Amino acid sequence: MANKMWGGRFSRNPDAIMEEINASIDFDQHLFRQDIAASKVHVAMLAKQGIIPAHDANRITHGLDTILSEIEQGKFKFERSLEDIHMNVENRLAELIGPVAGRLHTARSRNDQVATDFRLWVRESIDAVDAALASYQRALADRALEHADTLMPGFTHLQPAQPVTLGHHLLAYVEMAERDRGRFRDTRKRLNQSPLGAVALAGTAFPIDRGATSKGLGFDAPMANSIDAVSDRDFALEALSAAAITAVHLSRFAEEIVIWCSPLMGLITLSDRFTTGSSIMPQKRNPDAAELVRAKAGRIIGALQTLLVVMKGLPLAYQKDMQEDKEGTINAFSALMLCVAAMTGMVGDMTPNVDRMRAAASEGYSTATDLADWLVLTLNLPFREAHRMTGQIVAQAAAQKVALHELPLAALQTVEPRITADVFAVLSAENSVRSRASQGGTAPKLVRREATKWLKALAKQGA
Ligand code: ARG
CA distance 224 to 330: 27
Ligand 1 atom closest to the Cα of residue 326 is 4
Ligand 1 atom closest to the Cα of residue 28 is 4
Stretches where the chain sits below pLDDT 70 are 1
Ligand 1 atom closest to the Cα of residue 83 is 1
Amino acid at 393: I
Measured CA distances, 408 to 159, 362, 385, 411 (Å): 26, 17, 21, 5
CA distance 334 to 30: 11
Q: Which residue has the CA at smallest separation from atom 11 of ligand 1?
A: 320
Output Rg (C-alpha) for the chain, integer angstroms: 30
First-to-last CA distance in the chain?
55
CA distance 426 to 373: 9
231 is catalytic: no
Q: Which residues pair with 156 in a beta bridge?
A: 159
241 is catalytic: no
What is the CA(208)–ligand 1 centre distance, in A?
22
pLDDT on residue 391 = 96
Count other Cβ atoms within 10 Å, centred on residue 355.
9
Identify the CA nearest to 247 among candidates 331, 351, 325, 156: 331
Q: Which residue has the CA at smallest separation from atom 1 of ligand 1?
A: 84
CA distance 335 to 151: 34
pLDDT on residue 285 = 86
What is the CA(322)–ligand 1 centre distance, in A?
8
Q: Which residues pair with 163 in a beta bridge?
A: 153
What is the CA(19)–ligand 1 centre distance, in A?
13
Ligand 1 atom closest to the Cα of residue 85 is 1
Please check whether residue 113 is in contact with residue 35, taking contact to mean a CB–CB distance below 8 angstroms.
Answer: yes
Ligand 1 pocket mutation, candidates 3, 114, 196, 325, criterion most atoms within 8 A of CB: 114
Amino acid at 416: E
CA distance 63 to 102: 12
pLDDT on residue 283 = 84
Q: Which residue has the CA at smallest separation from atom 3 of ligand 1?
A: 323
What is the CA(192)–ligand 1 centre distance, in A?
21
Q: Which residue has the CA at smallest separation from atom 12 of ligand 1?
A: 323
Selecting among 11, 147, 157, 387, the annotated active-site residue is: 157
Selecting among 42, 194, 278, 428, the annotated active-site residue is: 278
Pocket-forming residues, ligand 1, beta carbon under 6 Å: 24, 28, 84, 110-111, 114, 318, 320, 322-323
Q: Which residue has the CA at smallest separation from atom 7 of ligand 1?
A: 110
Please check whether residue 343 is in contact with residue 254, taking contact to mean a CB–CB distance below 8 angstroms.
Answer: yes
> Which residues touch 367 (CB under 8 Å, ≥6 apart)?
162, 163, 404, 405, 426, 427, 428, 429, 431, 432
Amino acid at 205: A
What is the CA(305)–ligand 1 centre distance, in A?
21
pLDDT on residue 1 = 54
DSSP alpha helices (H): ranges in 261-382? Answer: 288-312, 325-349, 354-362, 368-379
CA distance 438 to 446: 9
What is the CA(114)–ligand 1 centre distance, in A?
7
**pTM (predicted TM-score):** 0.94
What is the CA(46)–ligand 1 centre distance, in A?
22
